Structure 1
């Protein structure tokens, strides 16, 4: 059960008749006889004159070839990209290598995307977030992606403008396919998407589905377009961290509560999630589990100082 409030040539025609006199010249200049053309190739190496129609066709073919753009390298979905990689873990069979591409020119991902992926060169790491990216430091993932462990492929897919796109597959170390999902700019292809007032503009909720089960990133929005809930499902169960936002209209998405569910969807679902963090309306952390609790301090008034 979701939390309350959660979330598509020009054909060239030549009609002119060939010059009969010119055709006659061609026949007289050729050394080929009927026997030659039937039993073997002609030995005539002289240049055979073309008809006007053939000349026009050849010129048109050349023009078409010149107009046809050559396939550009390092371009994905019309955007110029650059290739990079990261390494993590100890060297050897357990080392993880991620090979990916990112936009050469920064573009902010869609505000409604459930998750946004980027590469931070200084930290040499790929990150996942729901917040706006920093044009100065963050490289928006865009293009093919491959993850290997110990030299064996464990995950492949594509990114588009910082979101998962097209087919994504996961494998175990024995190259056995574990999962396959399809995405459209961050949204699972089979997701149940709902809108406010059915106008297809104000997104309300995205419930991800795979093989008939709720699987993947979940997100819901308030009517003002701001995020309300976000989290992840696995095997039909809520897992990991789930975040509820304040939903203020004229500010960036500010977190309110962060809850913790189970680590795996193949274990019994946690009925009562654990509150990990709480933030006041100014975005100040006032509670963190097992560390401190400042919820009794009045700091949630607009413009209040701490």
Structure 2
């Protein structure tokens, strides 16, 4: 009688159990490569159904009613159509966009696009010039006087001027004053001038004061590329305006105003002179007096329209 071999018994039991779970039979004489070719052995634990009602790892789908599904789709469409509102802010101030049109329609029509402050702020008292938009008149104005909060929209933000569909001037405003870089072009898109400003004052301006404390401003001479170019202003020692005007290409252009200079009143104009329209034209050496005001700020002379200067005794040349 042959001795009992435990190893052979265990191997036989293992193979019988395998054969019960697999459709393919494996012979004792099979080699290792034949066993592997028979395919993987299935684990009964992976195929047995869970009878203990244990929670599954699979996510359950939420079933929506037709009305809920329709409402969700509609909400998604509205969210896609509605653009996000952009907050217009320039230098920390909220602004609003607007535009003006002037001149005849066609090639000569002028269109200006700009921004203004949503909340009114009075420009700096010493600013050479203040710019604002009048919504009723649909026009941009330049002044040196205090602005009326009820009618003036203080310019603040990018500015662009176009004529005949071509850009002729660009720049920025800050609290009613010219700021940063300003450029002018002709109709052939050739750059005519480029100036830099800091809250109304040309960046390269020559600024002088009456005292070392730099509180009483005396004169602002604008410079650009070595030439006088920009807004000029001078003040009396009492802080009131004396002269204001504009240079271009080293020449006086447009209207130049001289003030009475009374201490306890608002700046009152005295004389208004007219120079040439452009600094690139021949210089006007003798300006034309176009307006004159008396001490009370009443207009007493306007060229080709009005002349009531008989009572005025302090005109240039009078005795």
- On whether the aligned pair clears a TM of 0.5, the verdict is yes
Q: Would the aligned equivalents of 1:280 and 1:299 in 2 still touch at CA under 8 Å?
A: no
The 3 A distance-change label for structure 1 pair 96 and 268 is closer
1:208 to 222, 231, 241: 222
Partners in 2 of 1:278 and 1:91 — Cα distance?
A: 35
SS at match of 2:211: helix
Higher relative contact order (CA 8 A, sep 6+): 1
Residue 243 (structure 1) aligns with: 257
Unaligned runs of 5+ in 2: 1-84, 315-319
The 3 A distance-change label for structure 1 pair 98 and 250 is same
Q: Would the aligned equivalents of 1:238 and 1:262 in 2 still touch at CA under 8 Å?
A: yes
Partners in 1 of 2:222 and 2:264 — Cα distance?
A: 28
Residue 116 (structure 1) aligns with: 130
The offset of 1:298, in angstroms, is: 6.3
Residue 174, structure 1, aligned to residue 181, structure 2: no
SS at match of 1:244: strand
Count of equivalent residues: 230
The offset of 1:82, in angstroms, is: 0.6
Q: Which runs of 4+ in 1 moved over 4 A?
A: none
SS at match of 1:270: coil
Residue 206 (structure 2) aligns with: 192
The 5 Å alignment of 1:93-242 reads: 93-242=107-256
The 3 A distance-change label for structure 1 pair 109 and 149 is same
The offset of 1:266, in angstroms, is: 2.9
SS at match of 1:100: strand
Q: Which TM-score applies when normalising by structure 2?
A: 0.68
The offset of 1:236, in angstroms, is: 1.3
Superposed CA deviations along residues 87-116 of structure 1, whole A, max 9, x for unmatched, are 122223332211110000001111111111
Unaligned runs of 5+ in 1: 1-70, 301-306
Superposed CA deviations along residues 121-143 of structure 1, whole A, max 9, x for unmatched, are 11111111111111001100001
Greater Cα radius of gyration, structure 1 or 2: 2
Q: CA RMSD of the aligned region, Å?
A: 1.9
The 5 Å alignment of 1:287-298 reads: 287-297=301-311
